[in-house]
Structures are given as structure tokens and as C-alpha cells.
Structure 1
């Protein structure tokens, strides 16, 4: 999917908090112009593929009239207690051809059963209610944040039961958490994947939240990991996750969002961009303008694949490498380990000299992720005019560099399986201000 929107919305929108306490009066939630069709319309126009909504944040407030809580839209004065955000949003997503996902925080600062075994029943029932009432759901998002204090209630979550429940009621949904089981946290909330980004990780011995793998491991993955759990890059378009009026002038620009695209999607991950509705219940004009600017930059930057008409061919023999010792040295320096004997080379030849500053590599993943080092050498005629080094490729790897006139480029790869696992190559000329910072 590459890119979809996160929407943090609830009582925090109206109290100017990021984490509510769970004791906020339900009447605090009272958007004056809530329009989920506006959210979906803007998401679609921005090129996003779906929306994930904070159906229940840590404060326990439910954006739908749940049977398993008394802290919901039903108890608010919004629409005289008849409103239902999940109903409206799921319907709008279907109308505009978007995927619909939900964030349901395991932590609940309102529910009186929290801290007891009975809360696991409540959580299972809550997930089931949401999926059956508003599905299909493409992603279930479990936040690892938990502010239980020394004097607070401690909950032992039955995550195995939670996973089994989702597999039963939504078998096609992916589940996000620090350690998956389907997609993992990238280790930061900056929207940035590691330059080395393996889709593998080891989860044995780890738990969600404080007991998870290190942020470095989450960011880079593990080449020899046993579980296939790709990273998802979450980041907010504003400094905060919920809407705050004082941040209206601090919305990320289209150029900043494009840079994050290169550092997330361009490193083989998906980008989950938070765009919090304001107190009216609308995507703010500043946020919408930034999303449209971001879309325009992507469209303009990637509309002309200069490699589309180029010739490409493989060379499989190590002996054919013209810079054999250099390539070996670079591979060692990239990985810190000796290169394998499975070095492959392919050449892309243009029909005329082209000016480029971005090359895209796309790996076949049907047999797993196997490319662990690569080097791209740029040529104008027989003259070497530059080089770019990297480690993993994954689903999509976008490399940017100073604009260079080239007639061809050669890609050398250290593939641990020795297969020809590149499915596509692209080349572009971006605006120089968009080259990765």
C-alpha cells in the first residue's frame, strides 16, 4: 500500500492533551462539523490508500456506541448521543475506495475492569464488536505505549488470545505492534526506516512495549531473523499526534513529507502519516494543503521513468566485474562482514545521455529478502562519473544523489542466494531540493 493516513481523534482533541486520563466528561467530545467524507475525500486526493482511526485511545473513550463501555459517543452530547464515528468513516472509506483500519489501545484508563483478568474479555469483545460492525478491517493497530504507574493498575494482557481472535474474525487483517505478528514498529515516531532494513526479525523472548527489541533492531531488522515482520513508519504531520490549534503553523511542508517518503517507502517500508482532525471534526486547511503539495511533488518527481526505454542485461560471473576488488572492498565496508561469492551484476544502458539523480531498485520477495549489499556505478561513455552504495533493497529502494549526466549505470549486488532477484529498475530526475537530506 506504501502510504496511508493515521487519524488521532477523541477527547484529547478538545482538551489539548496527548494522553487523556480517562475521567474526562463525555460531553467534552463535541465536534461541530464532523464530516468523515471530507477525511476520505482528502485522503483519496492525496494518494493515500487507507485510513486508520484511533477508535479507542488510552483514555478509553470509544468513537462508537460500544456495548462494552459507558465512556463512548453515546454518552456525549454530540448528535444527542446518536453519533458514530466508526460507522461514518467506514462508510466513507468504502465510498472512496480506501482501506479502513482501527487503532484500539490495549491500555484503558477508564474501564473499571482494567487490571483484572476480566479486562481481557472486555478487550476481545471490543475488537470483535468493531470488526463485525464496521469491517472489513485491513489493519489492527496495537500501541505499545503504557503509562501504568507504581500505584496504577497493572494489566496482564492475553495477547495470544487477542491474536487468535483477530485471525478468526478478520483473517485478512494485518496486526501491528512492536513485535507484530504481521508488521512491526520501526523503532521511532519520526517516520524513518533504517538505511539497512530487513523484513526479518526475531521475536522469541520479547514482549510488547517495554519488553520489546531495541529500537535499533526494530529500525534495521535482522538479516537472519526467523519471522517475516516488515516495518511500518508512523509519523505525524504536526508536532503532536492530536490536533492542537497552536500547531497550525507547524504543519510539515510538502518537501518535508517527500523527504520522509524517501526515508520510509524509499527504504522498503510503508508510511503511516498521522493527520489529526480538528475540533470541528475536519482535516484542517493547513494539513490538507500540505498533503496536496506532497502529492504534487510525488506525481511530478516520478512521472517520467527515464529507464523505461533503456536496455538492461545481467552478467552472472564474478570474473566479469570490471572493478572486482573495489566492489568487494565496498561490500565489506557496508556490512562489516566478508562479501558472499554470489555477486551479481547488471547493466542499464540509455539510448542517449540522460541527466538523473534518483535510481529505484525493486526486489523480488517471493523467495524472501536476499540482497544485502549493492553498489551502483554511473558512467558517461566509458568514464566513471559517480557511485552510490547501499545494503538492503526490499520492495522498493530509492537512492538519490547529485544530478549526473550518464549513458549507463551498473548495479553490483551481493545476494546471499545468488539469484537474479531484481524485478525492476527505475531512474528519475528530481528537483534538486528533493534529493534526500
Structure 2
């Protein structure tokens, strides 16, 4: 063997060792990031936990029962029936704030096609009204009140249905030159309208297109590029190119467990554009997500406050009996926020321009009850790794546990167990899969001195933001 090779062998060994160590570290770092990572807007959305969807449209003022299929195809006979004599936007937003909600979303337009802002793009907007001499701007007032009360603002824009412009399920009906021209005109109008909303009113925490928004590929307006130009920090929901959150598969305000924050498709679609797999088995994929999904897209759980024995997203006369009882709302919280989703509660101002007092009262009761249950944990801790121990100051009875993962690094936990140390030793309380932003488990009273979270499997090092125990 040549002397030069013998002399270089230690150096070669050191070189190979360095290369191997480099690749090992790369693989380890890669393993830490094999889960989708939420954007700052998605983190803000999930940290908010409670969002209010404030629903108002022209049919609120006609005194008749709301029939959606008719509203979608019937232009409003007299838009000057809009005359909320006691209009008080601060009353709406203060009620939302006092109930513990962190985000409020306003329907600047819905299926009648009327826009509640000062628009130069469509005549069917606040400028057309006799109310406030055509100078009112509900969207402006909403944004200002959200800022006043520390609420993150969102805007809901209806483009899928528009009775004024004759749009049904995204389209002008027919395939004539007339219908094609009308469709092109509608698309240009919507693009101008969304530019007004995105460019003239400051930042929006989230933008919600009702039923999705067909893009140019489907013959619709290009709203996504306008959003990305003017609202780069916002949450976008949704079209076939992008969805930052997903519908939770029902309007019950709940999802089943587990509900992963990840999803296999970039978008969920709407109507005929939705993939068959998404709608299969009563929307199970939307409800549960996919632990192996390559897109971070957490579910939202939505329901109207007036949904008990009805489903009233919009105000109708003599419907106070449909307001959910407090126990139902608390159960909704456990099965939405407690299952890794954001709860969206539909609220509707009345024709006077106020949130009805029975609704305000129930909202406050709900917020107070959630605060009572979770604001003072018996004990709490945080940590990283496969086992997180929580020691109580003394033996105590508990019946609720809250676990929060640090999802800024993605959902890393795959399976876990919760255990409590009783006088007879360690006892398994729950075996689960996803933790995500927040997992809440309720169980029969048990007396313990310690709790521990045992993570059975994870991708990378699991990071637990909080584990806390409560007695309700």
C-alpha cells in the first residue's frame, strides 16, 4: 500500500465521519419539519378560538320569513326598507367582546347582492339608500368599532349568489353571447368591489367568500390576486387555488374527534367544483382532516346562535325561542375549540340596528361560563419531549384536562395517553391521537396527586404549550 494512502487514512476517516454527521443532522432537522407549518394568520385564527359571524342583509327588513332558495333568485323589491332607526354598531361589537370572542366577521354582502359599503363599482350599495342620505357605510363602522374594542376584523363577501345581477351558483345562466357578456361584466365588477374592500379599509384578519369564489379558470372573477396584493397578512377562505381553513362539515358548531389541522388538498372547492372524496360519507374528510395531509388547513365549526329548533343565520320576527340554551353552547365549545377548531357563532342584528337583548344576554352567559370553567386551573405546566409531568400541590379531585400543543411547529403528536396518579397508582384517563391547538377532555371525578402526558408517537420532538387540570 502506498505510503501516501496510509498517511491520508486518518484524514479520510475524519472526513467521512464529518460527512456522515452532517447528513445525520440534516435528516434529524428534516424530521422535525415533516409536518405542515401554519402561517402567522392561521396561528392568529386558532389562538382566537371564538369568532362571531354578524349576518345582515336586505331581507331582514321585509318582515317575512327568510326562504333562502327564493332570496337567491328574487331581487329585493324596495331596498329603502333598510331603515335601522336605533343602529348602534358599538353595541354589536361590545357584546361580542364581552362574551370573550376575539374575531368578528361582517357580511358586507350576501345573496341579495347588496353591498354594505360605499362603492363606486356597483350602484347596489350604501350610496343607493335614503338612510343617512346615502352616505352611511356599515363596513367602515364595523371596522372602526372592532378597532375600538380590540376585536380582530374579518369580512364575508358573497359572490356565488347575487339576485341583483342574476348570478346563480357563480354563473349567469345560459351560453349565449348575452350571458357571456353579463358574466364578464359581473366578474369585472366583483374584482373592483373586492379591491375597494381590500384597499380602502385597512387590514382584515380574515376574508371569507361565501360558498367559495370561482376564479378565472372556472369562468369567475380573479379575487385571489387582489387579496394577495392588498391583504398579504390575512386568512383567505376560499377558492380552488387556496383555502387557509376548511369548513368543519356541518353547521352544528361541532366536529368529531379527532379533527386534524392538516388536509390532503390545497382547497376544498364548492358545489360542482368540490372533489367527491371531500363530500363522501357526510363530509368525514372535512370533519376529521388527515394526519398525513400536506397542507395546514384547520377546520372551523360554525352554527347560528339562533339554531335550536331552527337555523336562523339572519334575523326573523318572533324567533327568540330558537336561541341555543347555555348548556348547548357550552357543549358546542367542548366539541369545537376543545377539538382543535375555531368556533364561529352566527349573530344577527334586528331591523332596528341592534343585536337583540335576548341574544346579547345569552352570549354574555356563555362567555362567563367558559371563563368560570377554565380561567383558574388547579395546576398547569408545559414542556417538550415524550413525557410531561404535572404535580398538584395536594391530592385533589379533577374532572377536566386541557392540553395545548405548540402548533407553531406543526402538529407533531400522533398518539398520546393521559394518566393520573391515584392512591392505587397510575391510571389511564384517555388515549388519543391529535392534540393540536387545544384538546379538552372531560371525565368522571378522580382524585390524583399527579397528571402526566405520555406521548406514544410523534414526528420530531413534541412541544406542549400547556397542560392544565380543572374541577368543574
TM-score bracket for this pair, using the shorter chain length: 0.7 to 0.9
1:302-323 deviations in whole A, cap 9, x for unaligned?
1221123x7x888x7xxxxxxx
Contact 1:18 1:241 in 2 (8 A): no
- Asked whether the 8 Å contact 2:412–2:462 carries over to 1, the reply is no
Which residue of the other structure, out of 34, 57, 65, is the alignment partner of 2:87?
Answer: 34
**2:402 aligned residue:** 360
Q: 2:301 aligns with which of 230, 233, 236?
A: 233
Q: Secondary structure at the match of 1:246?
A: coil
| 1:414 lines up with 2:456 in the alignment | yes
Distance 2:61 2:345 in 1: 21
**Counting helix residues as a fraction of each chain, which structure ranks higher?**
2
| 2:290 maps to 1:222 | yes
State whether structure 2 residue 358 is matched by structure 1 residue 249: no
Q: Is the counterpart of residue 100 in structure 1 residue 153 in structure 2?
A: yes
Pair 1:194-2:256 in alignment: yes
Q: How does 1:33-432 map to 2 (within 5 A)?
A: 33-107=86-160, 108-111=162-165, 115=172, 116-144=183-211, 156-158=218-220, 161-177=222-238, 180-203=242-265, 207-212=269-274, 213-214=278-279, 215-239=283-307, 240-308=312-380, 344-384=386-426, 387-430=429-472
Residue by residue over 1:345-391, the C-alpha shift from the partner in whole angstroms, topping out at 9 and shown as x without a partner, is: 33323221111111011112233212122221222133355522222
Structure 1, 12-21 or 231-240: larger mean CA deviation: 12-21
- The TM-score, its normalising length taken from structure 1, stands at 0.83
Structure 1 partner of 2:75: 23
The CA deviation string for residues 311-339 of structure 1, in whole angstroms up to 9 with x for no partner, is x888x7xxxxxxxxxxxxxxxxxxxxxxx
Q: What residue ranges of structure 2 are gaps of 5+ in the alignment? A: 1-47, 173-182
Q: Secondary structure at the match of 1:300?
A: helix
1:379-407 CA deviation, whole Å, 9 max, x = no partner?
21333555222221001111111122111
User: Closer, same or farther in 2 for the Cα pair 1:418/1:406, shift >3 Å?
Assistant: same
Match status 1:2 vs 2:49: yes
Deviation (angstroms), 1:426: 0.7
Distance 1:407-1:370 versus aligned 2 partners, 3 A rule = same
Q: 1:418 to 1:202 in 2, by over 3 A?
A: closer
Contact map agreement 1:359 1:428 (CA 8 A) in 2? yes
Q: In the superposition, relative to structure 1, how do residues 223 and 287 fare at CA in structure 2: closer, same or farther (>3 Å)?
A: same
Q: Which moved more, 1:235-244 or 1:117-126?
A: 117-126
| Contact 2:383–2:463 (Cα < 8 Å) also in 1 | no
Question: Greater CA deviation, 283-292 or 350-359?
Answer: 350-359
Q: Are the counterparts in 2 of residues 60 and 71 from structure 1 also a CA contact under 8 Å?
A: yes
Aligned equivalents of 1:164 and 1:398: distance in 2?
38
Equivalent residue, structure 2, for 1:338 = none
Cα distance in structure 1, aligned partners of 2:125 and 2:267: 36
CA 1:379 to 1:275, structure 2 compared with 1: closer, same or farther past 3 Å?
Answer: same
Structure 2 Cα separation of the partners of residues 402 and 157 of structure 1: 55
Q: Is the 8 A contact 1:276 1:283 kept in 2?
A: yes
**What do the CA deviations read for 1:38-83 (whole angstroms, capped 9, x no partner)?**
1111111111112111101011011123222222232233223222
Q: Superposition RMSD on alpha carbons, in Å?
A: 2.5
Greater Rg over alpha carbons, structure: 2
Select between 354-363 and 171-180 the one with higher mean Cα deviation: 171-180
Cα separation, 1, equivalents of 2:411 and 2:206: 23
The CA distance in 2 between the partners of 1:2 and 1:89, in whole Å, is 20
Show structure 1 runs of 5+ residues with no match: 147-154, 317-343, 431-437
- Quick one: structure 1 residues 162 and 178, their matched pair in 2 at CA, closer, same or farther if it must change by over 3 Å? closer
Distance in 2 (CA, whole Å) between partners of 1:287 and 1:384 is 45
Q: d(CA) in 2 for partners of 1:157 and 1:56?
A: 21
SS in 2 for 1:268: coil
User: Cα deviation per residue 1:251-286 (whole Å; 9 max; x = unaligned)?
Assistant: 113322221111111111111111111111101101
Q: Size of the alignment, in residue pairs?
A: 393
